[in-house]
Homo-oligomer: A and B are copies of this chain.
Amino acid sequence: MNLPTVCVDGVVQRWEDLRLQDFAQGFFFGAGFFTTFRIDAGRPLFLARHLARLRASLAAFPTAVRAPEPALLHEDAVRDSLRRGLEADPLMGARFTGVGKLAVSDGHVLCTFRPLAPDLEALHREGRTLDSVEAGAYRRAERTVNHKGLAWFRQHALLPRLPVITNEADEVCELPTANLFVQFDGALVTPPLAAPCLPGIARAVLLEVGPLEGLPVVERALPLADLSRVQACFFSNAVALAVGVPHLLGRALPDSLRLAERARAVLEARALHEG
């Protein structure tokens, strides 16, 4: 899945040359964190935010994960390392568009690259139906869910079905790999971090930028039962940015695609602005 060129601690290497030994705590215990981001024509989107989240996760678990030298997670160092990785690989090049991943474990920073999923345009055009719920899979304020850890198996195992994950109070948390936004009661509502859910980069940007099509964007506890009354729905992540949900748990929500398109436009504009 990964392209053949990677960077480890800023040094360009070949994926096939990396040793398991150097990432043993990440492998055996999931003791590490990662983040996945979009690269547009060589430019990583929201890189500073992704790095800030990685640093926050390392700070939250100072003994359980061996952090890399702080300089290795500075924005300029990572940007430079990504650039050299792209330029070193004839399959990518300086103007590569695709997906980057930063994984941090065992004192190392690993950057890998892969192409965009071929169906991303269709996903943007047609949206994605959500038709199942994983009830009570999270508990409120569960701490590890707020960090994108290498121990990501609970979410990984749910990915093919993409259920709406709820907590023990039947409140909506997130999707396995995305935050959820719904148009409801005159606002664009997304669950609070304590639901719990991942502090997604696109989610944070949408909350900061503010009203979308006149709808204030707010964090608010979202009972699963309320999904039967929402007017539109999309989900967000750092790669697809925003994807409309034209069918949510059996209800048709035709306005979802347009709302997701507006959210994508906001995210793309903001990414340009942040450089």
Contact = CB atoms under 8 A, between A and B. Distances in A.
A1 B150 CA distance: 20
A27 B19 contact: no
Interface of A: 1-2, 15-24, 26-31, 34, 61, 63-64, 101, 103, 105, 136, 139, 144, 149-154, 156-157, 160, 168
Contacts of A63: 157, 160
Number of copies: 2
- Which of A23, A101, A150, A157 lies at the interface centre, i.e. has the most chain B CB atoms within 10 A of its CB? A157
Contacts of A160: 63
A166 B154 CA distance: 19
A31 B30 CA distance: 10
Given A18-B20, A139-B139, A168-B139, A30 B64 contact: no
A228 to B, nearest CB: 25
A157 B20 contact: no
A153 B19 contact: no
B153 A154 contact: no
B18 A21 contact: yes
B139 A31 contact: no
A96 to B, nearest CB: 20
A171 to B, nearest CB: 14
A28 B32 CA distance: 9
A21 B20 CA distance: 8
Given A18-B19, A168-B168, A153 B30 contact: yes
